[in-house]
Amino acid sequence: MTPSLRVLVHGGGIGGLTLATALARRGHHVDVAELRDGLEALGVGIIQPSNALHVMREIGVLDACLAVGFEWEVLTICDPDGATLAEIPQPRMGDAPSCNGIPRPALAKVLSTAAAEAGAALRFGTTIAELADDGAGVDVSLTDGHTGRYDLVVGFDGIGSPLRGRLYGDAYAPEYTGFANWRVTLPRSPEVRGVVMSAGDIEAKALLTPISDELMYLGSVFAEAEDFRPDPARAHEQLAERLAGFGGPIAEALARVTDPAAVVYSRISQVTVEEPWHVGRVVLAGDAAHASTPHLAQGAAMAVEDALVLARSLDAADDVPAALTAWEERRRPRAMWVQALSRAILKQETGTPTTPEEDGLLKVGIPGAAHVLVKPYWTTSRSEG
Global pTM value: 0.95
| Count of other CB atoms within 10 angstroms of residue 111 | 27
The overall average pLDDT reported for the chain is 94
Residue 381 has pLDDT above 70, yes or no: no
Give the start-to-end residue ranges of the domains of the chain: 6-42+102-173+270-372
State which amino acid sits at residue 251.
Answer: A
Express each pLDDT in 31-78 by its tens digit.
999 999 987 656 689 999 999 999 999 999 999 999 999 999 999 999
Specify the DSSP element, H or E, that contains 224.
none
What is the per-residue pLDDT for 204? 75
Phi/psi-derived region of residue 82, left when phi > 0, alpha when psi is between -120 and 50, beta in every other case: left
**206-251 per-position pLDDT tens digit:** 999 999 999 999 999 888 999 999 999 999 999 999 999 999 999 9
The tens digit of pLDDT for each residue in 325-337 reads: 999 999 999 999 9
139-191, pLDDT tens digit by residue?
999 999 999 999 999 999 999 999 999 999 999 999 999 999 999 999 999 99
Helix residue ranges, H only, the chain? 14-25, 50-58, 62-68, 104-118, 162-168, 235-242, 248-254, 287-290, 299-316, 320-349, 356-362, 365-372
Give the SS3 label for residue 64.
helix
Q: Topology of 6-42+102-173+270-372 in CATH?
A: FAD/NAD(P)-binding domain (3.50.50)
